[in-house]
Amino acid sequence: MIPDVTDWEFDRIVGGSPIPVLVEFWQPGCGHCWALLGELERLQPEVDGRITILKMNVRENHQIPAELEITGLPALALYEQGEFRRFIGGLGKKDEIKKQLPLGGF
């Protein structure tokens, strides 16, 4: 299961992570969001210990999505050393997402 992160704890969790963090921005009722979440759940065991995967509900959290100017859902954002690096494409397929992650050659 992919853990939730909120605006309130975002800086502490993402900023304090020693490994890259991938965040899915989603909302209830978004079918594509649920499909992507399923792919991330399949990906999680393959990247465990090298990438942290989190999800953020944009209906309950507004600050971080606004800072990133997210206009479409789902959105996947990659953070390294607490800083936003880029959005990840290939929404929907685990293998396409994995190709875009900084996995250190593993």
Strand bridging mode 52-57 / 21-26: parallel
**Catalytic site residue from 2, 13, 14, 33:** 33
| Domain formed by 7-90, architecture | 3-Layer(aba) Sandwich (3.40)
* pTM metric for this prediction: 0.94
Residue 91 one-letter amino acid: L
Structure tokens at 3: 């853990």
Distance CA 93, CA 11 (A): 28
DSSP secondary structure letter of residue 84: E
Residue 19 · residue 49 · CB < 8 Å: yes
* 30 catalytic residue (yes or no): yes
Distance CA 90, CA 98 (A): 9
Q: In the chain, what are the domain boundaries?
A: 7-90
Q: pLDDT of 44-90, one tens digit each? A: 999 999 999 999 999 999 999 999 999 999 999 999 999 999 999 86
Residue 48 one-letter amino acid: D
* 33 catalytic residue (yes or no): yes
